Amino acid sequence: MTFARYLPILTWGRAYNRTALSNDLVAALIVTIMLIPQSLAYALLAGLPPEAGLYASIAPIILYAIFGTSRALAVGPVAVVSLMTAAALNNIVEQGTMGYALAALSLAGLSGLMLLVMGLFRLGFIANFLSHPVIAGFITASGIIIAASQLKHILGINAEGHNLLELVVSLVRHLHEINWITAIIGVLATGFLFWVRKGLKPLLQRFGLGAGLTSVLVKTGPVAVVVATTLAVWLFGLADQGVKIVGEVPQSLPPLTLPSFSPELLGQLLLPAFLISIIGFVESISVAQTLAAKKRQRIDPDQELIGLGAANIGASLTGGFPVTGGFSRSVVNFDAGAETPAAGAFTAVGLAIAALALTPLIYFLPKATLAATIIVAVLSLVDFSILKRSWGYSKADFAAVLATIVITLGLGVEIGVSAGVGLSILLHLYKSSKPHIAEVGQVPGTEHFRNILRHDVITDPGVVTLRVDESLYFANARYLEDKIHNRVAGDTMVRHVILQCSAINEIDLSALESLEVINERLREMGVKLHLSEVKGPVMDRLKEQHFLKDMTGKVFLSQYQAALTVGSQT
């Protein structure tokens, strides 16, 4: 049973049948067609040869199919992780060298090892420390940077930069170098791909094509652009007129490779690998859970860590770079009818055939076309509406999202994602450091107690009941001390304070010490401290300490019982 838990393939594989096989093959065909240009494009974005994109999409998909729990997640290179890869490696080695490719392998291996260890130790909860608004802000900013970074390929000029400002300045300085043929190809390809996303489906439906065929044709839009622009460059000899092309791509299956074990290199890659692991896992698990919910399937986050870890280790051993579950390809896989992870394995076979047989056909593929593919894909990730939603809901969330966007755009993705992680943790600490503490009273005719500011309730001037709506720990313990002191110190009629603990799931040692301080201060004022509705696990911990013995008051099973007992004593 334990063995099967780590190998989900043993579960879904037993029930595999001819219907599932048929659906998986159809889905794999559609996804393969989509992934060929996408994989090449993301390798370009990562600063690697185009074949690395194909290699990173073969072994990782197969390994995820064995170890992953999502029936529809398609693993491979994605835009944000590819950009983070380039950002990390450009600071360490020169792009285009053997050292760069070796560093990419090492980054994938290190990231895979981290994910695997987190999965084995069931540390999937770590991703919860990244707030979704902050992640949305980071992805939005990254999408803008990615799109800006590809304009040099669209225009056929040289431009460098790790953030938006550097990229814009560099692009402006090199505008005089524009290759107008390249620019025409790039602009037309980008415009066509945008039109395919919005306008092709209604057009095909007007011609009476079915929904299934229409969907397939829309998904193959990038392939059409690749074919058309490649033919144009070949037929008219545009490469001789300065149009940059992909060039020769090795006609082979993924090679067996080994990452570097240099302590110096691994030390430099440690932080980028961790950040890539976390961002990749958050993106992947979000997609997997969304798609699984539509079919009432279950995703195991810890096993997903193992699946993604295995996929990245596989990428490091087969000439790839860091990978994760991609949104667009996973949705296509789901919509195409994928029943099991076997669809991913079949996709890997299709990509392997492409790597063996089709690579000579992309010799004249212009880099501007791949850049157009990237731009259209990543701009769908840009979502400034998160600023409006967060502003209307929580100013603290808005500040964190805005700061993440500004820092990422201004300082680059590595600092941006680090800031996002830090801001998420700070946001959590800020919110929980000032928990909602309501003074409550009894709702007339019931045994219920509600906030005195929101309801007409019965109160006793000699009794103050405070409901703490948060677990108590080091960050908010002092806040509770101050809250109680400020409420009681100026009211000489108070003789009893009841802490209603119905929302308290844990009390750490710092909070326990604060309760001891509160108890002692109230004793000095002639006020007794009582607890009500303490949860079992919290009570078990308190019983192990001397606090309950020293407490001036009692512990009550219910708030109603506490109010009756204490009220009769005032």
Integer Cα distance of 501 and 515 in angstroms: 12
What are the distances in angstroms from CA 483 to CA 137, 428, 434, 488? 35, 20, 10, 9
Q: What helix, strand, coil percent values describe the chain, rounded to 5?
A: 65, 5, 30
Q: CB of 359 within 8 A of CB of 249? A: yes
Q: Which amino acid is at 71?
A: R
Q: If you search the block for the tokens 């969330």, which residue do you land on?
A: 397
Helix (H) or strand (E) holding 418: helix 413-433
What b/e sequence results for 351-365 when a residue is b if at least 16 CB atoms lie within 10 Å of its CB, and e otherwise? bbebbeeebeebebb
Q: Does residue 260 register a pLDDT over 70?
A: yes
What percent of the chain shows pLDDT beyond 70? 97
Stretch among 1-15, 110-124, 190-204, 368-382 having the lowest mean pLDDT: 1-15
Q: Tell me whether residue 493 is exposed, middle or buried, using C-beta atoms within 10 angstroms of its C-beta: 0 to 12, 13 to 18, 19 or more.
A: exposed
Most confident listed range (124-138, 256-270, 369-383): 256-270
| pTM for this model (two decimals) | 0.80
> How much is the pLDDT for 288?
87
Stretch among 37-51, 215-229, 250-264, 313-327 having the lowest mean pLDDT: 215-229
* Mean pLDDT of the 467-486 span: 93
Q: Which residues contact 183 (CB under 8 A, 6 or more apart)?
A: 154, 155, 156, 368
Integer Cα distance of 269 and 321 in angstroms: 13
> How much is the pLDDT for 292?
84
Q: Tell me whether residue 112 is exposed, middle or buried, using C-beta atoms within 10 angstroms of its C-beta: 0 to 12, 13 to 18, 19 or more.
A: buried
> Of 511 and 428, which is predicted with more confidence?
511
Q: CB of 348 within 8 A of CB of 323? A: no
Q: Does residue 212 register a pLDDT over 70?
A: no
What b/e sequence results for 310-341 when a residue is b if at least 16 CB atoms lie within 10 Å of its CB, and e otherwise? bbbbbbbbbbbbbbbbbbbbbbbbbbbbbbbb
- Over residues 509-560, the pLDDT tens digits come to 999 999 999 999 999 999 999 999 999 999 999 999 999 999 999 999 999 9
Q: Does residue 364 register a pLDDT over 80?
A: yes
Q: CA 284, 427, 128: angle at the middle one, nearest 5?
A: 25
Q: Tell me whether residue 388 is exposed, middle or buried, using C-beta atoms within 10 angstroms of its C-beta: 0 to 12, 13 to 18, 19 or more.
A: exposed
Q: Does residue 433 register a pLDDT over 60?
A: yes
Integer Cα distance of 326 and 410 in angstroms: 26
DSSP, collapsed to helix, strand or coil, labels residue 433 as helix
Sorting pLDDT into bands at 50, 70 and 90, what band is 77? Answer: very high
Q: Tell me whether residue 453 is exposed, middle or buried, using C-beta atoms within 10 angstroms of its C-beta: 0 to 12, 13 to 18, 19 or more.
A: exposed
- Over residues 155-193, the pLDDT tens digits come to 999 888 888 999 999 999 999 999 999 999 999 999 988
Backbone φ, ψ for residue 403 (5° rounding): -65, -40
State the number of CA atoms in the 13 A half-sphere of 102 facing the CB. 12
Integer Cα distance of 14 and 93 in angstroms: 47
Q: Does residue 255 register a pLDDT over 90?
A: yes
> How much is the pLDDT for 407?
93
Integer Cα distance of 428 and 422 in angstroms: 10
Q: Does residue 315 register a pLDDT over 60?
A: yes
Integer Cα distance of 147 and 143 in angstroms: 6
> How much is the pLDDT for 1?
47
Per-chain mean pLDDT for the chain? 89
Integer Cα distance of 91 and 86 in angstroms: 9
DSSP, collapsed to helix, strand or coil, labels residue 17 as coil
In total, the chain counts a number of residues equal to 570
Q: If you search the block for the tokens 């948060």, which residue do you land on?
A: 470
